[in-house]
Amino acid sequence: MNLHIINPNTTAGMTETIGEAARRVSAPDTRIVATQPSHGPVSIESHFDEAISVVGVLEEILNGEKDGADAYIIACFGDPGLLAARELTQAPVIGIAEAAFHMATLISTRFSVVTTLARTGIIAEHLLDQYGFSHHCRRVRAAEIPVLDLENDGDAALTRIIEECRRARDEDQIGAIVLGCGGMADLTDTICREVGLPVVEGVTAAVKLAEALTGLGLGTSKYGDLAFPRPKPFSGRDENFSNLQPTRR
């Protein structure tokens, strides 16, 4: 299968980290293509950043449709543009937060999320409510590190994340930890070893879910609100979305 992973920010190093983590867990016949938009924020740490990033995500979906992608992953823990992306394709589109929450509930009855900044933790809480996982999550914790510290000061960032994961283990009465940032995709094994709990990371979880959905022949329903958008003119810098024609599979 051809699996297109979209890093919604524009930091190339993070895209490479995400792609390598995905390849480590993917099946031998899965081809991973990891991309990023050509425009948008260098990191996503707010509602504003998410909103600006969505157009780039949708452009990457359309590029993937031209290239024959079998499934997509949106590799930011805010799952920016997830439902809009699903409207553009019959292929499965998986957000890493939703994937991680699902996986965590399969191995534990309670989990905590460890993310980067407290303000993005609030966004994660909104998603837990939206997806119906709030009763499974004991707490959303922040290591209080900017996202780009994962790239630029990786050792110090890892230390802060491990410390917060240990606090979650000792204080939250949980069975698993969910890592709340796509930039943490390569940290799972280290954190699991240091903390002693199962650690679920969204990029790798989403890879296995995408493979499962594709293997079952399941794609995004085109009935109801996820039907293809009605073709219509767009103006100005969004003119490239004018009169979109769906790619049928």
Question: Domain for residue 10, yes or no?
Answer: yes
- For residue 190, the Cα-to-chain-centroid distance in whole angstroms is 20
Question: Domain for residue 246, yes or no?
Answer: no
Q: 170 and 129, same structural domain?
A: yes
Q: Indicate the pTM of the whole model.
A: 0.96
Residues 64 and 93 sit within 8 Å (Cβ to Cβ):
no
Q: 192 and 116, same structural domain?
A: yes
Q: 144 and 70, same structural domain?
A: no
Q: 101 and 91, same structural domain?
A: no
pLDDT digits (tens, 9 = 90+) for 112-128: 999 999 999 999 999 99
Give helix then strand counts, H and E, for the chain: 9, 8
Q: 84 and 43, same structural domain?
A: yes
C-alpha distances out from residue 2 to 71, 91, 163, Å: 7, 11, 37
3-state secondary structure of 103: helix
Q: 231 and 163, same structural domain?
A: no
Q: 220 and 137, same structural domain?
A: no
Q: 101 and 86, same structural domain?
A: no
Q: Is 92 left (phi over 0), alpha (psi -120 to 50) or beta?
A: beta
Instruction: Identify which of 184, 216, 213, 217 has the alpha carbon closest to the alpha carbon of residue 201.
Output: 184
Q: Is the pLDDT of residue 249 over 80?
A: no
Question: Domain for residue 132, yes or no?
Answer: yes
Domain that holds residue 104: 97-202
> Which pair of structure tokens corresponds to residue 241?
């979305």
Handedness of CA 98, 99, 100, 102 (dihedral sign): positive
Question: Domain for residue 247, yes or no?
Answer: no
Banded model confidence at residue 94, pLDDT cuts 50, 70, 90: very high
pLDDT digits (tens, 9 = 90+) for 64-74: 999 999 999 99
Question: Domain for residue 128, yes or no?
Answer: yes
Q: Is the pLDDT of residue 180 over 80?
A: yes
Q: 230 and 108, same structural domain?
A: no
Q: 182 and 140, same structural domain?
A: yes
Length of the chain: 249
Q: 183 and 106, same structural domain?
A: yes
Banded model confidence at residue 6, pLDDT cuts 50, 70, 90: very high
Please give the Cα distance from 8 to 56 (Å, whole number): 7
Number of domains in the chain: 2
Please give the Cα distance from 185 to 49 (Å, whole number): 20
Instruction: Identify which of 114, 178, 174, 180 has the alpha carbon closest to the alpha carbon of residue 141.
Output: 114
Tell me, what CATH number does 122's domain have?
Answer: 3.40.50.12500
- For residue 112, the Cα-to-chain-centroid distance in whole angstroms is 17
Banded model confidence at residue 245, pLDDT cuts 50, 70, 90: confident
Q: 198 and 212, same structural domain?
A: no
Question: Domain for residue 39, yes or no?
Answer: yes
